[in-house]
Amino acid sequence: MKLFIKHMVCGRCRRVVREVLEELGLTVRQVELGSAEVDEFPEGITPDHIRRALAENDFELLDDRKAVLIEQIKKIIINEVHHNRRERPESQNLSDYLAQKIGYDYSYLSHLFSAMEGLTIEKYVIAQKIEKVKEYLLYDELSLSEIAWQLGYSSTQHLSNQFKQVVGLTPSDFKRSGRAFRNDLDKIGTAK
C-alpha cells in the first residue's frame, strides 16, 4: 500500500517517516520523498493514527489525488534543484519530463499546480533555484559563474537578475549582508 506524505524534502525526512511508521507497527518496504510503501495496516491501526503520528513530526498524510499530484511535481523539482538527482536528460525540457514522470498532460499539471498553489510551476522552480543559490552563497564554495552553471542558468547575469528580483538584493549584496535567511524547502514559493 502506498502512502502519500506532504513536506518530505530530504533524507532526514525519509528517516523520520520510516521511524514513525515502524513505531506504529507498520512494515515499511520503501520510503521516498513524498511517499512510503507499507504492508497492510496492523489490526487497530487506521489512517487517522498514521495521520496524527505524522502530524506530530510536521508531515501530512495526503488523501486527495490532486494534492498527491502537486506533491509529486514538487518532489521532482526539489530532486532536480537541491539533490542533484538529474534523472532528466539535458535535451528534455522540464515540462515534458514532468508529464512523462507523472503520466498526465503538462497543461493539466500546470493548471492544477497554479490553481492549488497560487503560482506557476515556472515560478516554483525559480523559487527553489534561488533558495539553492542562497545555500551556495552562504557556504562560499563556488563562484557565481559555477553556481549559474550548476543550476542551468544561461549566464551569471541571468542568475543575478533573477536573484535580485526574488530576494531584493544582488547575490554579492546578499553574501555581504551576512544575513542567512533561508527557507524550508517545503515552504518555498507557496503563496498561501
Q: Is the pLDDT of residue 192 over 50?
A: no
Q: Which is nearest to 80 in space by CA: 112, 118, 33?
A: 33
136-140 average pLDDT score: 88
The three-state secondary structure class of 35 is: strand
34-54 average pLDDT score: 92
Q: How many CB atoms lie within 10 A of CB 132?
A: 20
145-162 average pLDDT score: 94
Q: Which is nearest to 111 in space by CA: 128, 98, 101?
A: 98
pTM: 0.74
Domains in the chain with CATH codes: 2-63 (3.30.70.100), 66-119 (no CATH), 123-187 (1.10.10.60)
